[in-house]
Chains A and B, each alone.
Chain A
Amino acid sequence: MADLHRHDNRLGVWGWLGGGRWGVERYAYILHRVTGLGILLYLLMHTVVTSLRVRGIYLWTDGGFLHQPIFKFGEFLVVAAFAFHAFNGIRLVLVELGFAVGKPIEPVYPYKTSLGVQRPLLIVVMLLAFIFLAVGGYNFLGLAK
């Protein structure tokens, strides 16, 4: 397969963040990137913080610097980001591999878009993400103990 030709991103940063009228999938895509960057930032910090246990430093336990409500809330945001990113990621992989986009059809007026075929998949994965998050919230509030 030949290398893909990249088109100039004339919009700059707005090209990343602007969804325009491209539908809810385009906004899911933007949120996918934002949550991905958040999780990456957390991973970098998490790697350093958890590595400190080699020196006997456990910052996340009772009395530790990270054992504060603000960090607990931050941890919940990470779980929320993971829930969205993971379930939306499943959808993106399925779509990338050609599943759930419908069969190719003749472009006969009135034209049909594959977005209509994809939409149920988006709804299902968002529901699953919400359920995952609800269970996570139940645990974070300490209701499961």
Chain B
Amino acid sequence: MSNGTKFWTWHMAAGVALLFLLGLHMLIMHFGGSVHLFAPHGSEAVSVENSQWRDAHTFFAITYILMLGVGLYHGLYGLRTILLELTLKPAVAKTVTAFLVLVGLGLFGFGSWAAWAAHTIAIAGGKG
């Protein structure tokens, strides 16, 4: 299997994983009025109290990090595919790839740090 085929297969697999992860995320955050999932403090799923309650649970911290990684890979690889369809020169294509990898890793590092920091802060504050 060539690298192109391998990365494309990962892109599809990431899409399927996102379907479940983001589907659950949407259900909790944006359909809270109907489902009332993981939001014990009132009907507003994204209130400070409910956000901190979820942050205090390791399951959510890990899910956020996983979702971020899978989402960034799927999104940025998709963006790369769109850009490379313009038949860029090899050097430009490599630069685009390197730039997107750096952006992805940077955001993943930042977002993961934030998710874990919020988790430890919420635990310390006894929000769980």
A interface list, Cβ under 8 A from B: 1-4, 6, 8-9, 12-13, 15-16, 33, 36-37, 39-40, 43-44, 47-48, 50-51, 53-54, 58, 60-61, 75, 79, 82, 86, 89-90, 93, 96, 135-136, 138-140, 142-145
Contacts and interface: CB of A to CB of B under 8 A. Distances in A.
A51 B71 CA distance: 16
16 contacts: A1-B1, A9-B85, A15-B86, A36-B75, A37-B79, A47-B110, A47-B114, A50-B114, A51-B114, A53-B51, A54-B114, A79-B26, A89-B19, A135-B31, A136-B26, A139-B33
Contacts of A140: 30
Given A9-B87, A36-B75, A47-B110, A138 B82 contact: no
Contacts of B12: 93, 96
B128 interface: no
B23 to A, nearest CB: 7
Majority DSSP secondary structure for residues of A touching B: helix
Contact of A79 (B19, B30, B32): B30
Contacts of B95: none
B121 interface: yes
**Interface range for B:** 35 or more
B24 interface: no
